[in-house]
Structure 1
Amino acid sequence: MDIIQGSIRDLEVIYDRFEKDFPPDERKDRKQIESLMLKNKYKLIIAKHSILSEVLGYAFIYETENLGLIWIDYIAINPKFQSKGYGSLLFNKVMERSNDVKGIIVEVERADHENLHIREKQKRRIDFYKRLGARRLNIAYHLPTKDGSIPLDLYFIPKQGINYLPKDVIQNKIRSVFEFIHGDVEHRNIVLNGFINDIDDEYFHIVG
């Protein structure tokens, strides 16, 4: 797997795939993503097959150097290459981007959809994150949308040796995400204030 940092031109190719991978109420339009990418902290990471040169998957990530956390806004593996280990490899490559990274935070749908097929997909996604060592954070998180908000779970994939995440680091990262990524949502602070003060320190039991 080869990892490249995508450009605005690459976004034109990836966006068609992105529209199929995420529902309309969860995805930003192309102009919004372009605007975020031009600010340099929001990056498109593309995974390509080393031999076939096909796109294996991609991720949109938000990095803030002072907090040591990578926020994955969106991540997807081409269905053709799913269940072959490429998803885990992509996460590892993202984690390795900096020595100062404490871990990765990702928004995850709860496995509660009324449609059985969709609910099974949600369960498989959660199981995938757990196999990566992800821990669900004890946060009543809501994703701000144009029409309100969506309840999601936050999972943290710690770097090896990390077993503690202070509440101020979590709060500051989420505040930064709401201001930077969701700055176009007028009621974002109302959504944020609904849970931000209830966040506490997180401790992770290290097995082995």
Structure 2
Amino acid sequence: MKLAIYGAGGLGREVLELAQQIDACRPRWEGICFIDDINDGRQIKGHPVVHLDAIMPNDYEIVIAVGEPSLRDTLAQKATDRHFALATLVHPNARLSQYITLGEGCVIGYGAFVSCDTDIGRNVYLQPNASLGHDCVIGQHSIISSYANLAGNCKLGERVFVGMNAVVRETTRIGNDSIISMGAAVFTDIAPAMIVMGNPARAIRPNDDKKVFK
């Protein structure tokens, strides 16, 4: 089986390095390519960039490598509609409890920590050194950025973005499509599709267009 990295930007290059580090410990893929449906026909780090229609699900599994949660959702659906399996990538130095549920297509970076009885949904990205306490639930297509720290029994909806160095108090609920800005300290529940920042974190405006990166 080969690996196709769906996303040819900076995060795609980071996922390439993660895949290579996994392969160095235990060979897994016979080859790696990138997918870019707009700007294909080139190379990145010696690996070809192709259109999704140029590869077959019998030969490739796909990992989503974009940081926009709504686009992660779109690309994952596009891949599965074409019967591709979503690859799960876990860095060899990540620390995951044996008592967790990990959905397909998740990416877990270097030094990430996941405590017991945590449920991580499909196509979630935990960046390096992110930390999840016990009994957390992370909705699909969400991004937990580096050094973000969720205490026990937090529940995040789908397509949530948690910025770098954000902290979330135990038992907090965060709604779908919300954005927790970097460095925010979240002590109370967050309604769906809200942007919050500060310490203590406060809602500053709705996330009307359901996007993080404008």
Greater relative CO, 1 or 2 (CA 8 Å, sep 6+): 1
Taking structure 2 as the reference length, the TM-score comes to: 0.28
State the TM-score, normalized to the length of structure 1.
Answer: 0.28
- Higher helix share goes to which structure? 1
